Amino acid sequence: MSVIFSTNQKHSLGKRRCAFCTNQMKYIDYKDIRTLKYFIDGFQRIKPRYYSGVCLRHQKALSGAIKRAREMALIPFVNKYVNK
């Protein structure tokens, strides 16, 4: 199953759609790092909703999944090269 995650940046505000709603994903898995990485900053911070266009319901699930992935050392908390 190939899931398409387009960046909503080029669309106007009215036309933005949640990436999880369009793909009909009910459960956001913390093990699926590849999709989570679309919603993470260069500084490894969770992207705000106004950048990614994710709806509130999925943003909450997404942030939970990212935090779980961080806890299990799949995703770093901080970009280690920035601090040095």
Partner 1 sequence: MTKVKTATPQEVGAGDSLYELMLILSPDLRESEIKKKLKELTDMIEKADGRVVTEDFWGRRNLAYRLKRHNEGIYMVYNLELPGAFLKELKQHLRIEKEVLRSMIIKLPAGHAYTKYDLDAPVELKERKEKPKKYSTKNENISIKHNAPIIAPKKKAEEVKEETEEVKEEMSAEEPEKKEKAGKDKKAEPKREEKEIDESELDKKLDAIIGGEDFNL
Q: Which residues in this chain contact partner 1 in the complex, by CB under 8 A?
A: 26-27, 29-34, 37, 68, 70-77, 80
Q: Could you tell me the smallest distance in angstroms from the CB atom of residue 53 to partner 1?
A: 17
- Rounded Cα–Cα distance for residues 68 and 5 (Å): 21
CA distance 61 to 57: 7
CB of 3 or CB of 14, closer to partner 1? 3
Torsion, Cα of 82, 72, 46, 63 (10° steps)? -170
CB 54 within 8 A of CB 20: yes
To partner 1, the closest distance from the beta carbon of 66 in angstroms equals 12
Least Å distance, CB 32 to partner 1, is 5
16 or 38, CB closer to partner 1? 38
